[in-house]
Amino acid sequence: MAQEKVRIGILANKNLQEINFKVIGNGAFISDQKSTWISSENSNIQIRNVGGMIRFTSDTVDVSCTKISLQAGNEGYFQVQLTPQSRKLKYGETLEIKVVNNQLQIVNVMMIDTYISGVVEAEGGPNHELEYYKAQAVISRTYLLSQFYKHIDDGYNLCDQTHCQAFNGLPKHEHIMVNSAEQTKSLVIVDENANLITAAFHSNCGGRTNNSEHVWSRPLSYCKAVDDTFCMKMPNSNWEKRIPVQEWTRYLQSKKIESSDSANFAYFPGEKEVYYREGDTKVPLVTIRKDLKLKSTYFSAHQDGNEMVLIGQGFGHGVGLCQEGSIRMAELGYGFEEIIHFYYTGVKIIPYQYIAFFKIE
Ligand SMILES: [Zn+2]
Ligand SMILES: [Zn+2]
């Protein structure tokens, strides 16, 4: 992988017909492939889809073309606010814009680490320790390189949605996010065969992570259940949900579990289970979680009058790295490599440039 740059399809779910950017910093270079103009600092530029063509308007230029590219000046960026209520987003380096499927397609071309710093903030949340962000940076770089051609038919590498990895442009907390990318430069996670791993993560495992095969039916050698005490007193460690008794029994009946059985009204699995069992019938807890929109598969249930009270632990699928456990580990002084090795069994952290050498051997 010689590329140092990455192409990200941004605002990919917005069905954009028109977008307005403000030029921040030392002006910007605008090019329609024939000519190049300069847009000055703090100028506003407007890009519209007019009958499948790009109509570009700024203080000095008004042009129609098939494709336009905007290059930010040194330290500069393009600022956009999609609605008066939404937050201002900043995009750096280069934007390439054309009309695809009768809407604007915007591709942000940037250095890999610029992209990583934005993903770390979007996926990792604000106000945590650097070592936690460094673990997130290595995970997002691993994902990027393992999925580098996911959107190749669309003309870019990844989109900015959770379909790939969330990316909302340049990070607000710029310093720590950029550090997380730079201080882990090139590092990715590989398994014992030197293949990039599927670096799954979730918010809170509830005290024990899950084997991947119990959630996605695909075993991954490095996603093995581990006991995790680090996440126990974090914001997403506990939840409660109340469901009308009727709804609960109707649901169990739909899964061929008899509602008359008193066990259904006092469900205490003790440890983390894969199935909800009643006699010979078993229902995968991942199915129950999805159907009843529960935060996790790790819960007990008891009856309280007309309601069933579900008391649960954790938030998310529970496979791979537990974010809130990692946040706590970083607070306690663990380094990003220790965090990664704690949640992913038997992996190695190496610069991605080494992968080719491993493969030749
Ligand atoms: Zn995508
Ligand atoms: Zn955990």
Cα(47) to ligand 2 centroid in Å equals 45
Q: Among the bound ligands, name the one nearest to the CA of residue 206.
A: 2
Cα(226) to ligand 2 centroid in Å equals 9
Q: Among the bound ligands, name the one nearest to the CA of residue 160.
A: 1
As residues whose CB is below 5 A from the ion ligand 1, the structure lists: 159, 163-164
* Residues 75, 149 within the same domain: yes
Model pTM? Answer: 0.91
230 has which bridge partners?
A: none
* Residues 132, 1 within the same domain: yes
pLDDT tier for residue 61 given thresholds of 50, 70 and 90: confident
Cα(268) to ligand 1 centroid in Å equals 39
Instruction: List all residues 6 or more positions away from 311 whose beta carbon is below 8 Å from its beta carbon.
Output: 238, 239, 240, 299, 300, 301, 302
Q: Among the bound ligands, name the one nearest to the CA of residue 205.
A: 2
| pLDDT, tens digit (0-9, with 9 covering 90-100), for 208-221 | 999 999 888 889 99
pLDDT tier for residue 272 given thresholds of 50, 70 and 90: confident
pLDDT tier for residue 361 given thresholds of 50, 70 and 90: very low
Q: Which domain holds residue 249?
A: 238-313
Percentage of residues in the chain with pLDDT exceeding 90? 81
Cα(151) to ligand 1 centroid in Å equals 7
Last residue of a domain, which of 144, 161, 185?
185
Give the range among 177-181, 210-214, 259-263 with minimum mean pLDDT: 259-263
User: What is the predicted pLDDT for the residue at 1?
Assistant: 46
* Residues 6, 116 within the same domain: yes
Is the pLDDT at 299 greater than 80, yes or no? yes
| Inside any domain, residue 214 | no
Q: How far apart (Å, rounded) are the C-alpha atoms in residues 63 and 50?
A: 11
> How many domains does one find in the chain?
2
Average per-residue pLDDT for the chain:
93
| Inside any domain, residue 343 | no
Q: Among the bound ligands, name the one nearest to the CA of residue 8.
A: 1
Q: Which amino acid is at 112?
A: I
Q: Among the bound ligands, name the one nearest to the CA of residue 228.
A: 2
Cα(269) to ligand 1 centroid in Å equals 37
Q: Among the bound ligands, name the one nearest to the CA of residue 151.
A: 1
Is the pLDDT at 26 greater than 80, yes or no? yes
Last residue of a domain, which of 152, 185, 218?
185
Q: Is 15 exposed, middle or buried (0-12, 13-18, 19+ CB in 10 A)?
A: exposed
* Residues 303, 172 within the same domain: no
